[in-house]
Amino acid sequence: MVESQWRELFKAAIIELDPEQLQLRVQAAEDAINARASSDARVSRDEQRAMNDALSTLRALKRKQS
């Protein structure tokens, strides 16, 4: 469930068109990814790669917005 939470927040961020909402969605997705990465739960290598890719995409969205 926790794994799907960051994925859902990430998906919401990458499809957001409103610039103000985009900032909020990007931050929420980043927070969820960072929380998942620092949780005590075991994170698979595939999920770690997916989180790194997602963070990279979110950084690119932030750069594009500014």
- For Cα atoms 18, 4, 19, give the angle at the middle one, nearest 5 degrees: 10
- Angle, helices 19-38 vs 2-15, to 10°: value is 160
For residue 65, pLDDT over 90 is answered with no
Cβ contacts of 22 within 8 Å, gap of 6 or more? 13, 16, 61, 65
Question: What is the pLDDT at residue 1?
Answer: 56
Number of domains in the chain: 1
Tell me how far CA of residue 59 lies from CA of 14, 34, 41, in angstroms: 11, 13, 25
pTM over 0.85: yes
**Domain around 52:** 2-65
What pLDDT, in 10s, does the model give residues 11-42?
Answer: 999 999 999 999 999 999 999 999 999 988 89
Beta strands, E only, 1-66: none
pLDDT tens string 43-57: 999 999 999 999 999
pLDDT above 90 for 2 = no
